């Protein structure tokens, strides 16, 4: 069975972040340089650089593309973030200033579901919620500081546009209210926010036992929250019962990102170089399958020919076949996992993409995978 | 006599070698999960947190893996860097001198080695400093293979050097004492 995944080797250095546009023909990618690349899918089904966005002075740590309003936001270690608007007439992306007012590196950025604001996590131990100020034509920010004690590693918005969840290096996952009266928000009460709170109120805090929280995401309906931490744990909580957190302590290397595939399953990926599928039921979370199904290597490599042995001795100074190899599609840690096509009714994902520190972008066809894994249902 | 006592020691020690190396390998695999991390203390700076040790929450508890009282490995990790220090078996004076000179030779060329630290930690003979830059540019599994091979080969190399040294010394002494025959 050949792999139905499409592998793009975009760079030789690590990809820190990527995001697709609305119809998945274009991609914004940041690697380990201060440049951001806009790549276009060409006729040969390969991505090539269309434009390079140069504004940052340090590594770009995170990018996000707002599909409906067609805006890109990038943030970097130089304490800045920029919003890029596409100039239709001249065909280039123009940066717009963002007043983040942080004094440490920005680590993560995400557009809100309605795309009228975005959240930036930073090493300054605060979260900036930024919205547009039409009077001065720039983006201004409001900070959420208490009680975050360390660098924020990941941020996610709730579908209602009024709540954010963050994961940080102080081993906690938190949910805050981010309703802005400046933008005329009228938040509703919900399980997450039983009574109306003002901006910056801490709604929930979850502890992870000494693991930095690398990835956090609300489920498509917003009722569940999942996060992955450096203690190799995978945690899910349902807003109906905020005291009961379902945790799975895996024996793999830690995950660094996750993506809800439907309301009852999610994929987590990270330092074991392969996305894993987890299913959520009322009783808890269970590991379902590894999603990197590679065909068996022929020969096994047990017997080396005499010629190969002498060559190895000559070139490497070794005579045995020792040494470990990786047999996953990614050869280094996976940094980001994004949904490419989400069914708007059920929230189910059929295609997703992962970017890794090996400079690869892999597009996974979940429908094909589930048939090869024996009728996996999400 | 010296070779017989060495052989005996090797036989009893062989049983401890495999679990020792396995423990070191699995610890390295876990500790080498590194990622880029900008400093929380100084803006626009990016430093190996294991060396700076200013933010306690991004550091791991140091782990010492001992084969016996003389051979041990200290692994200190953090979010973006890892420091591994090795204390090599030195049974007698000659081995101490050979080990010291050999390690010094390598540490003076630490730039070419990339992952080597110029000075070992107190109480150890050699230290490696691996940062997220190294895991980004090089394969993590190959880095671990390299370190494990280093650990297994270093004892052999020092024993070989000692044998050569003793051999040469014997030849010189025989030639010199021929004069008095």
Nearest C-alpha neighbor of A376 from the set A355, A354, A348, A353: A348
> Minimal Cα–Cα distance from B67 to chain A, Å?
23
Distances, alpha carbon A323 to alpha carbons A160, A172, B138, in Å: 50, 38, 15
Give the distance, in angstroms, between the CA of residue B105 and the centroid of all CA atoms in the same chain. 13
ipTM score over 0.90, yes or no? no
Q: What predicted TM-score, i.e. pTM, was given to this entire model?
A: 0.88
The span from the CA of B99 to the CA of B160, in Å, is 12
Please check whether residue A153 is in contact with residue A214, taking contact to mean a CB–CB distance below 8 angstroms.
yes
**Residue of A31, A32, A105 to mutate for B, most B C-beta atoms under 10 A:** A105
| CB atoms inside a 10 Å sphere around CB A131 | 15
Residue that is written with structure tokens 């070191």 in the block: B24
Q: What is the DSSP string of B11-80?
A: HHHHHHHHHHHHHHHHHHHHHT-------SSSTT----HHHH---GGGBPPPEEEESSSS-EEEEEEBSS
Report how far residue A343's alpha carbon sits from residue A351's, in angstroms, rounded to the nearest whole number. Answer: 10
> What is chain A's pLDDT, residue by residue, as a tens digit (378 residues)?
345 788 999 998 999 999 999 988 999 999 989 999 999 998 888 899 999 999 999 999 999 999 999 999 999 999 999 999 999 898 899 999 999 999 999 999 999 999 999 999 999 999 999 999 999 999 999 999 989 999 999 999 999 999 999 999 999 999 999 999 888 888 888 889 999 889 999 999 999 878 999 999 999 999 999 999 999 999 999 999 989 999 999 998 999 999 999 999 999 999 999 999 999 998 889 999 888 876 555 444 455 677 877 777 777 766 555 567 788 899 999 999 999 988 888 888 989 999 999 999 999 988 877 777 665 555
Nearest to B38 among A13, A104, A357 (CB): A104
DSSP sequence for A51-92:
EEEE--SS-EEEEEEETTTTEEEEEETTS-EEEEEEETTTTE
- Local structure of A314: helix, strand or coil: helix
Q: Which of B38, B141, B142 sits opposite A123 (nearest CB)?
A: B38
Specify whether the backbone of A300 is left (phi greater than 0), alpha (psi in -120 to 50) or beta: left
C-alpha torsion A217→A218→A219→A221, nearest 10: -160
Report the residue from B43, B57, B135 with minimal CB separation from A150.
Answer: B57
Q: Do B57 and A169 touch (CB under 8 A)?
A: yes
Contacts of A271 by beta carbon, 8 Å cutoff, 6+ apart? A252, A253, A254, A255, A256, A333, B33
Per the omega criterion (within 30 degrees of 0), is the bond before A127 cis?
no
In sequence order, the 6+-apart residues with CB closer than 8 A to the CB of A114 are A161
């Amino acid at each position: 069975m050949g792999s139905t995944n499409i592998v793009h080797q975009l760079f030789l250095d690590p990809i820190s972040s990527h995001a697709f546009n609305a119809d998945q023909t274009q991609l914004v990618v940041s690697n380990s340089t201060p440049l951001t690349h806009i790549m276009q899918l060409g006729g040969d089904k390969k991505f090539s650089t269309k434009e390079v966005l140069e504004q940052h002075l340090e590594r770009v740590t995170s990018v996000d593309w707002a599909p409906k309003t067609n805006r890109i936001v990038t943030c970097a270690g130089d304490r800045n973030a920029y919003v890029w608007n596409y100039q239709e007439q001249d065909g280039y992306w123009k940066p717009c200033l963002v007043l983040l007012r942080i004094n440490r590196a920005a680590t993560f950025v995400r557009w809100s579901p309605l795309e009228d604001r975005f959240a930036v996590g930073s090493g300054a131990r605060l979260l900036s919620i930024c919205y547009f100020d039409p009077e001065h034509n720039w983006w201004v920010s409001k900070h959420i500081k208490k009680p975050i004690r360390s660098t924020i590693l990941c941020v996610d918005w709730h579908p209602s546009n009024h709540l954010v969840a963050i994961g940080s290096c102080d081993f906690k996952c938190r949910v805050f209210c981010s309703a802005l009266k400046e933008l005329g928000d009228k938040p509703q009460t919900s399980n997450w926010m039983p009574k109306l709170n003002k901006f910056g109120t801490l709604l929930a805090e979850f502890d992870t036992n000494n693991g930095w929280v690398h990835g956090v995401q609300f489920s498509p309906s917003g009722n569940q929250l999942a996060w992955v931490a450096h203690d190799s744990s995978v945690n899910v909580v349902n807003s109906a019962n905020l005291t009961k957190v379902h945790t799975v302590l895996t024996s793999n290397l830690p995950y660094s990102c996750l993506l809800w595939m439907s309301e009852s399953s999610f994929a987590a990926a990270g330092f074991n170089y392969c996305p894993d599928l987890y299913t959520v039921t009322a009783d808890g979370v269970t590991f379902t399958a590894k999603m990197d199904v590679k065909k068996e290597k022929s020969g096994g490599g047990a017997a080396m020919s005499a010629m190969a042995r002498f060559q190895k001795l000559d070139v490497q100074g070794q005579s045995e076949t020792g040494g470990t190899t990786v047999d996953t599609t990614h050869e280094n840690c996976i940094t980001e996992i994004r949904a490419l096509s989400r069914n708007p009714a059920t929230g189910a994902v059929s295609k997703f993409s992962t970017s890794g520190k090996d400079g690869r972008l892999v597009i996974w066809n979940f429908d094909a995978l589930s048939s090869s894994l024996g009728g996996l249902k999400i | 006599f010296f070779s017989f006592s060495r052989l005996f020691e090797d036989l009893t020690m062989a049983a401890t070698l495999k679990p020792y190396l396995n423990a070191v390998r699995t610890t390295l695999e876990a500790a080498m999960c590194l990622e880029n991390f900008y400093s929380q203390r100084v803006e626009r700076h990016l430093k190996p947190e294991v060396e700076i040790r200013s933010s306690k929450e991004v550091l791991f508890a140091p782990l010492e893996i001992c084969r016996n009282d003389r051979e041990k490995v200290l692994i200190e990790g953090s979010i973006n860097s890892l420091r591994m220090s090795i204390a090599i078996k030195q049974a007698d004076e000659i081995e101490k001198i050979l080990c010291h000179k050999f390690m010094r030779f390598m540490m003076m060329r630490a730039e070419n080695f990339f992952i080597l630290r110029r000075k070992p930690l107190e109480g150890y003979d050699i230290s490696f400093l691996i940062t997220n830059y190294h895991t980004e540019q090089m394969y993590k599994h190959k880095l671990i293979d390299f370190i494990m091979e280093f650990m297994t080969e270093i004892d052999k190399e020092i024993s070989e050097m000692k044998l050569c040294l003793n051999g040469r010394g014997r030849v010189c002494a025989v030639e010199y004492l021929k004069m008095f025959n």
